[in-house]
Structure 1
Amino acid sequence: MHHTTDRAISNINHLMQKNNIATVADLAKLIRVPQPTFHRLMSGENQDPKYTLLKRVADYFKITVSELVEKDLRVVSENNVMGDPENVSFTRIPVMGSAQLGSEGHWVPLDNGDGFIHWPSADPEAFALRCTGDSMKPRIKDGEYVVIEPNHGYLPGDEILLVTKDEQVMIKTFLYERDGVVLVMSVNEEHPPLKFPVGDVERIQYVAGIAKASLHGTY
């Protein structure tokens, strides 16, 4: 079921981008599903989602459950309104380093990079990091890649790359920034939210997606 769930998550992320749905919370509202329930699916925590949940998503996007969980909708949409194949334009996103993610994690930049990731992105400054360790399971597995789009905005509920001035590197869910504090939530909901003074944050950048190792290539 893990492969099926990973494919469904990938397809839902693609459909959200295609339909200008900014956050998981927004889609949960549109399909009338409790946000915590839908977040568990999209984070990979729920590896055995109920058929009724998948059908709500599929019905909203006017596709079948089979298409949602079995086909790679990022490559070709075989059942669009006109009945014609729809090609998705992929580009080469450079891998800029290796990241040990999580609290007190670190990022090791590589001078010459480490190949590229095939990914659909319009951000000319997009880059990828290879993730190591198991601190972000089940959302990010050892050896997978995060694709970062520095020029993409982010909203509450979006996953972000947060880098602190003391060089901690982590992938979190952005909750808010106010009163001089940034509040983020761990992908693993068993861990409590974290607060950072704005002055301690080096940068926050949008996570466009999680890429499997099979999407990695070399120049």
Structure 2
Amino acid sequence: MDIYQIRKANLIQLIGSQRKGACATRWGMSPAHLSQILSDKTEKNLGDDVARRIEQVEGLQRGWMDTGHSPRAEPSNVGQPIPITSPFRPIPIVGIAQLGAEGYWTALSPSEGHINFPTQDKDAYALRLRGDSMSPAIRSGWVAIIEPNGDLVPGEYVYIKLHGVHDEGESMVKELLRADDYEVSLMSVNDAFGRRSIPWEQIQHCYPVGAIVPPSKIVQ
């Protein structure tokens, strides 16, 4: 393993079951930068400055990120019965997001239902979608499965919520074109709505969309 592979392995060990976005904020990185370093689909590496900053924030000895460390041993389940579980679980529909600009978060009650969907993201939730900017790829009324702990991948859909007064910032689903340390570039499928670039300081969160499902899958 070269030094960048070692740093990536140590980064994964440090994150563990924590939310990537929270770790990125603590380490002075953008969530997109951290996702690119962790992703196998990009060639982004963890540089010296960021490695030293992570060591300082976490109270680690200088150079810890550059040295291999054995992962913590997991408790053995030998001799214990393995429960049979379904990969599907109920994902609650918690609000409404706009497909175009000028859309604002609308919270929904639990009676709005849920979606049975297989996801490994323990923090996953669902949103009803409104608007025509992503038509015909995504239709108004369909449901997006949001996976906050997933990686941002260019060419795939993301859910973005902007900062606003009283937590009423603009809320939308778009196709991700690019995400760097400074901004996120988005595109609508419908040419009438065009492209848009948003600086990270205006973004409350930017999460991957794991799936888009039809309204017929809603369980009341």
TM range (shorter): 0.5 to 0.7
CA RMSD of aligned residues (A): 2.5
Letter in 2 for 1:93: I
Alignment partner, residue 197 of structure 2: 195
- Which SS does the other structure have where 1:153 is aligned? coil
Alignment partner, residue 131 of structure 1: 129
- Which SS does the other structure have where 1:208 is aligned? strand
- Answer yes or no: is the 8 Å Cα contact 1:97–1:110 preserved in 2: yes
Q: 1:179, 1:116 → 2: CA distance?
A: 35
Offset at 1:189? 4.5
Letter in 2 for 1:121: T
- Answer yes or no: is the 8 Å Cα contact 1:94–1:113 preserved in 2: no
Query: Does the C-alpha gap of structure 1 residues 92 and 200 become closer, same or farther in structure 2, counting only changes over 3 Å?
Result: same
Choose from 140, 151, 160 the match for 1:162: 160
Listed as ranges, the gaps of 5+ residues in structure 2 are 1-39, 42-84
Equivalent positions of 1:58-207 (< 5 A) are: 89-112=87-110, 114-166=112-164, 167-178=169-180, 180-189=182-191, 191-207=193-209
- Which SS does the other structure have where 1:106 is aligned? coil
Q: Show CA shifts across 1:21-57 (max 9, x none).
A: x99xxxxxxxxxxxxxxxxxxxxxxxxxxxxxxxxxx
Letter in 2 for 1:100: Q
Query: Does the C-alpha gap of structure 1 residues 183 and 113 become closer, same or farther in structure 2, counting only changes over 3 Å?
Result: farther
Q: 2:193, 2:101 → 1: CA distance?
A: 11
Choose from 209, 212, 216 the match for 1:210: 212
- Which SS does the other structure have where 2:110 is aligned? coil
Q: 2:105, 2:173 → 1: CA distance?
A: 12
Offset at 1:146? 0.7
Offset at 1:109? 1.2
Offset at 1:179? 5.5
Letter in 2 for 1:214: S
Q: 2:136, 2:188 → 1: CA distance?
A: 12
Q: 2:201, 2:149 → 1: CA distance?
A: 21
Q: Show CA shifts across 1:131-179 (max 9, x none).
A: 1233331122122101101111112222100111131111112122335
Query: Does the C-alpha gap of structure 1 residues 98 and 178 become closer, same or farther in structure 2, counting only changes over 3 Å?
Result: closer
Query: Does the C-alpha gap of structure 1 residues 116 and 179 become closer, same or farther in structure 2, counting only changes over 3 Å?
Result: closer
Listed as ranges, the gaps of 5+ residues in structure 1 are 1-21, 24-86
Q: Show CA shifts across 1:103-136 (max 9, x none).
A: 1111201253621002111111111111123333
TM-score norm. by structure 1 comes to 0.55
